[in-house]
Structure 1
Amino acid sequence: MSSTNGDPAYSDEALARIHLVVEETVGGRIVSSQRQVRWRPAWFVAVEKEGATETIHLRGDRGGNVAIFPDLKREADIIEVLYDHGIPVPQVYAYVADPPCIVMESIKGTRDLSDLTDDEKRNVGREYMQAVAAMHALPLEPFVAIGMDRPEEAQAIALVGLEAYMPQYRRTKARPEPLLEFVIQWIRRNVPRHRDKASFIQFDSGQFLVEDGKMTKLYDFEFSMIGDPMVDLATMGMRNTIEPLGAPLPELVRYYEEASGQPVDHDAILFHVLQFSLLGTMQFTGTVASPEPADPHSVYLQFDLALRRSILLALSKLADVPLPDLPELPRRKGDHAALMAKLADTVGSITPSDELAGSQRAQALELVEWAERADAYGAEVVRQDIADVTQLLGEDFADWPSAEAALEHRVLEAGPDQDMALIQLIARIEGRRLRLFGPTSIGEAALNVRLPQTR
């Protein structure tokens, strides 16, 4: 089957089937279709009806090996429940099973708040937090009726995300993960046990659009669950560091308290910053270690590096273990520097045929830059990492895979009395990785990661 959109699952023939559903459901005739340039298949289609044109959004399945809830219909059902209960979300017009696609209202507005006045930003922040509080107050029965799991006690409520992500992590894990295995055990031992009331949560929160100085609607409910409402404040705080939500986060928290009538739990928010960072890393580690065809690998590398930094910052604060101050790597040229330079030149000289191809060329150049750093500094980082693991475990290792496997084995056997030593060792390993790849366009986001300040 032919394809002109870069994703074999969404061939021209498959898109034609989706377009037929759009025209039958919405009425009218599709006059244009534009692929959204991002890491999942999505389109904006213009439908002409009775002399007017309406824009419809087609949300496809991201595919690959990173789906936690692989059935896209789950998200469509969630959005419909929210819409029926008055939460500002797009209307779902139809769901197409083959290939998976949600046919939905296209939300007006932008995510860029830079042109708003301070008063408009505060207003947007207040409107957003009112919507979040209303969402958290919804009855849970309609969500249970569409198949969502409902945790009933503090341990299950706190760890609903971990339990949801664990099967995908175990299935796709392609290498030892000492950091992730340590944090999985740590959060199981340190659940906030007083948090025993569950709500519907967006989980990957902070996603809304703005038009004319006002919030329009919320979007993206792919990872929604029933759990601790503080999860949404934690994840929106993390998003706020790279994608501002309007008012400063402490002010947003006050708006939430006003709208919900409940004080927020700042310690629980930090716990969920740690857990959400862990889960995001768990989600992508398999495809980062063993990329799937057509994966947006540079995007996943960016997520992985930034989330690991967030894990370390949150864990350091919660466990009261300071992170090591590592020296800069010694400057040197890579052994294959000339080849890397030529590869960058060759990829950079390619003329893309459209916006999507331009995005793919940009990702390729980012990967070349990443490989240049690995060529120049990777061997020295591995040498230092092996030396650290050797010192802790008291045995020699021929290579990094064997040292990393031995460290993971120690993590899985260790008790809480070894937390400090393991945190400091793992922080040195992950810190060197940040030194290695932070000075790249992919790694820039990780260098700017900060813990969200909620008060």
Structure 2
Amino acid sequence: MACTDTTTDYGADGQARLRAFVEHATGGKVVRMERQVRWRPAWFVDVERGGELMKLHLRGDRGGDVAIFPELKREADVISVLGEHGIAVPRIHGYCSEPPCILMDALPGTRRVADAASDAERRTVARQYIAEVAAMHRVPVESFVARGLHLPQGAREIALVGLGAYMPHYLRTRSRPEPMLEFVIGWLKRNVPTHRTRASFIQFDSGQFLFQDGRMTGLYDFEFSMIGDPMVDLATMRMRDNYEPLGESFPVLLQLYEEFSGEPVDHEVIDFHTLQFATLGTMQFTGTVGAGRPGDEHAVYLEFDLALRQVILQAMSGLTGIRLPLEPPLSEHTGNHAALLAKLADTVSRIETPDKLQQSRQEAADKLIEWLQRADAMGTELEARNLHDISTLLGRRFDNCCAAEAALERHVQEAGPEHDETLLRLFATMEARRMHVFGPTRIGRSATQVHLPPTR
């Protein structure tokens, strides 16, 4: 059943329309509809039908201009195909196009494998998860092509299918010079694995599953799924394991994948896709990080940007063997606007927040103020050091960082591979300065914890 009304509002009117849609789709009565406290609209819904209680989930559109595949129905179609082939995913009950929402079963359980009752339970859940990933990779790609997914042809397109999908969005939304991204994009194009010629359906942003009582209950979140190299899912799993442990060490997860898939993993290709995925995530959010739009989840996107650039640097260092330099810390001092920012923080803290959703928004505002306080105190020195280094490299002076980074971007686009080490070390130095400024903030906390687990 599809809802085809013409509002995109997720407020009170939109939720009333969604409630009516759920009741029409299920033939039951909504007895609870609770907004999930997170950065995208989603609800847990209880429906009473025939004396039984259905536990459902409404997954809304993330909003803003950060979607690579803007049509949310694409994800509903993908989940339906997976379910038809026996993969453990939520059952789809319907799709509402306006406001966009997928109605599906609510999977029971938690995503935090660290909360399992024992190490033995964690190992069991990890084994079940990897078995399901291997099974997912065996689903015939033709089933997804029939639903509109692109089928890449040849080793180069298979390897860079993610870059091909993200590039139009990046070119359309970028709001500032991006010399570091241009450098990495060029490196990826020059170093494509040419021996991987089999494409599979991939979750792309993998490592997302729930479990309960020692049993994995299902995979979820297929927003970015596509057809490509199955090693992509292992690479993105590696990144997620960094902050959401998956139950076993990453080398053991890879051994389990070999067991269930019957194929050896390609360690170097996993490294390549680790770099590519972090680059794509940064490309996705750079437009809103540089020039945020009203309603964007600004604190979330700043966090993604800072952490993903750390992954890029670590992955590039591992792939090239180039050691990243150590940067001396910036000076700590009181910023020119410290008193005003303290007043703003106090004002925000005294705003009444009657529900958890409003509390989360207040917390986001607090995080942004903290970020601004660090920028006010240390941003001038950061920019001065960056200007000096870029001017030294390019042999000319610049009045501001924007002009300098635009010139650096042009230099990157023209530079050959012989300049890779110099440029990588420069970008690592500039990002180390950002980490000195923003790493101690709550937004920057995840970036300080970035560590790529070994693959062997």
The residue correspondences of 1:94-113 to structure 2 (distance < 5 A) are 94-113=94-113
Offset, 1:18:
2.0
Counterpart Cα distance in 1 of 2:371 and 2:13: 37
The residue correspondences of 1:320-331 to structure 2 (distance < 5 A) are 320-331=321-332
- Report the AA paired with residue 74 of structure 2: R
The residue correspondences of 1:281-296 to structure 2 (distance < 5 A) are 281-296=282-297
1:316 maps onto 2:334 in alignment: no
Partner secondary structure for residue 9 of structure 1: coil
Partner of 2:344: 343
Partner of 2:160: 159
Count of paired positions:
449
Offset, 1:15:
2.1
1:274 maps onto 2:265 in alignment: no
- Report the AA paired with residue 318 of structure 1: L
Offset, 1:413:
0.9
Partner of 2:4: none
Confirm or deny: 8 A CA contact 2:114 2:122 kept in the other structure: no
Q: RMSD of the TM alignment (CA)? A: 1.1
Partner of 1:393: 394
Offset, 1:431:
1.5
Partner of 1:44: 44
Instruction: Report percent identity of matched pairs.
Output: 57
- Report the AA paired with residue 98 of structure 2: D
Stretches of structure 2 that go unaligned for 5 or more consecutive residues are 1-6
The residue correspondences of 1:24-423 to structure 2 (distance < 5 A) are 24-116=24-116, 117-423=118-424
Counterpart Cα distance in 2 of 1:299 and 1:325: 27
Name the stretch that deviates more: 426-435 or 174-183.
426-435
Stretches of structure 1 that go unaligned for 5 or more consecutive residues are 1-6
Counterpart Cα distance in 2 of 1:220 and 1:104: 12
Partner of 1:436: 437
- Report the AA paired with residue 232 of structure 2: V
Offset, 1:10:
1.2
Confirm or deny: 8 A CA contact 2:114 2:247 kept in the other structure: no
Q: Deviation digits for residues 73-119 of structure 1, max 9, x if unmatched?
A: 10000000000000000000101111111111111101122332111
- Report the AA paired with residue 419 of structure 1: D
Q: Deviation digits for residues 107-139 of structure 1, max 9, x if unmatched?
A: 110112233211100100000000000011111
Name the stretch that deviates more: 106-115 or 128-137.
106-115
- Report the AA paired with residue 427 of structure 1: A
Partner secondary structure for residue 86 of structure 1: coil
Offset, 1:319:
1.6
- Report the AA paired with residue 24 of structure 2: E
Confirm or deny: 8 A CA contact 2:207 2:237 kept in the other structure: yes
Name the stretch that deviates more: 340-349 or 38-47.
340-349
- Report the AA paired with residue 183 of structure 2: F
Offset, 1:343:
1.3
Partner secondary structure for residue 205 of structure 2: coil
Counterpart Cα distance in 1 of 2:199 and 2:263: 14
Counterpart Cα distance in 2 of 1:405 and 1:364: 31
Counterpart Cα distance in 2 of 1:290 and 1:64: 12
- Report the AA paired with residue 241 of structure 1: N
Q: Deviation digits for residues 175-200 of structure 1, max 9, x if unmatched?
A: 00001000000000001111111100
Counterpart Cα distance in 1 of 2:72 and 2:128: 28
Name the stretch that deviates more: 384-393 or 411-420.
411-420
The TM-score, its normalising length taken from structure 2, stands at 0.97
- Report the AA paired with residue 174 of structure 2: K
Partner of 1:3: none
Offset, 1:48:
1.1
Offset, 1:12:
2.1
Offset, 1:11:
2.9
Confirm or deny: 8 A CA contact 2:8 2:99 kept in the other structure: no
Partner secondary structure for residue 432 of structure 1: helix
Offset, 1:222:
0.3
Partner secondary structure for residue 10 of structure 1: coil
Confirm or deny: 8 A CA contact 2:236 2:277 kept in the other structure: yes
- Report the AA paired with residue 113 of structure 1: V
Counterpart Cα distance in 2 of 1:207 and 1:331: 39
Offset, 1:318:
0.8
Q: Deviation digits for residues 344-403 of structure 1, max 9, x if unmatched?
A: 111112221100000000000000000000000000000000000010000000111100
- Report the AA paired with residue 153 of structure 1: G
Partner of 1:4: none
Partner secondary structure for residue 449 of structure 1: coil
The TM-score, its normalising length taken from structure 1, stands at 0.97
Offset, 1:8:
7.0
